[in-house]
């Protein structure tokens, strides 16, 4: 069993006119010479579909110096049409990411949810503040995660 202390959120760094399914990323990473293929454990597509990459028990390849003790989650997007870093998550992706991270957080209660850029300041990935956005998923009250889904819903409706 690996000890998981970090859940690292990434973007796949593709423009809105490009796709990045788990299968595509697997091909890209194999071309880079990674024999185990896709470096992420999960890929969240624009339509909110969650695709699996490496099994959770297997060490990923997504964040230098942190792979052995982390799970890598990647959303499809992260660049605007000009190829500049941007938070391009769709509503479906935001919902799916929250659901996936909540499930992971329940499995790995002591793990922190962070963005790639929080561990490597040279990266813009995942192009939003994952620590801030998912801090409520990190909170554990009386040894149990808080009911963050309801709180999340309330916040979303305020934003519109
Ligand atoms: Zn990344």
Q: Is the pLDDT of residue 153 over 90?
A: no
pLDDT of residue 136: 87
Instruction: Please state the pTM of the whole predicted model.
Output: 0.86
Q: For residue range 74-90, list pLDDT tens digits in order.
A: 999 999 999 999 999 99
Domain residue spans of the chain? 6-143
- Mean pLDDT of the chain, nearest integer: 89
Q: Give the catalytic positions in this structure.
A: 10, 40, 116, 123, 125
Between the CA of 142 and the centroid of ligand 1 the distance, in Å, is 33
pLDDT of residue 139: 52
CATH superfamily of 6-143: Peptidoglycan recognition protein-like (3.40.80.10)
Please give the backbone phi and psi of residue 148, each rounded to the nearest 5 degrees, phi first. Answer: -85, -15
Q: Is the pLDDT of residue 137 over 90?
A: no
Sequence-distant (≥ 6) Cβ neighbours of residue 72 within 8 angstroms: 8, 10, 39, 40, 41, 42, 53, 60, 61, 62, 63
Between the CA of 140 and the centroid of ligand 1 the distance, in Å, is 26
């Amino acid at each position: 069993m690996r000890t998981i202390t970090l859940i690292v959120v990434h973007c796949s760094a593709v423009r809105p006119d490009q796709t990045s399914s788990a299968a595509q990323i697997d091909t890209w990473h194999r071309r880079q010479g990674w024999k185990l293929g896709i470096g992420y454990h999960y890929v969240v597509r624009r339509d909110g579909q969650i695709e699996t990459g490496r099994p959770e028990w297997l060490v990923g390849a997504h964040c230098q110096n942190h792979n052995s003790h982390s799970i890598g989650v990647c959303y499809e997007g992260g660049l605007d049409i000009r190829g500049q870093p941007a938070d391009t998550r769709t509503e479906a992706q935001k919902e799916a990411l929250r659901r996936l991270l909540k499930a992971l957080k329940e499995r790995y209660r002591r793990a922190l949810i962070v963005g790639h850029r929080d561990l490597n300041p040279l990266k813009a990935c995942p192009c939003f503040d994952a620590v801030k956005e998912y801090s409520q998923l990190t909170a554990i009250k009386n040894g149990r995660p808080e009911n963050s889904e309801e709180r999340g819903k309330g916040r979303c409706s305020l934003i519109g």
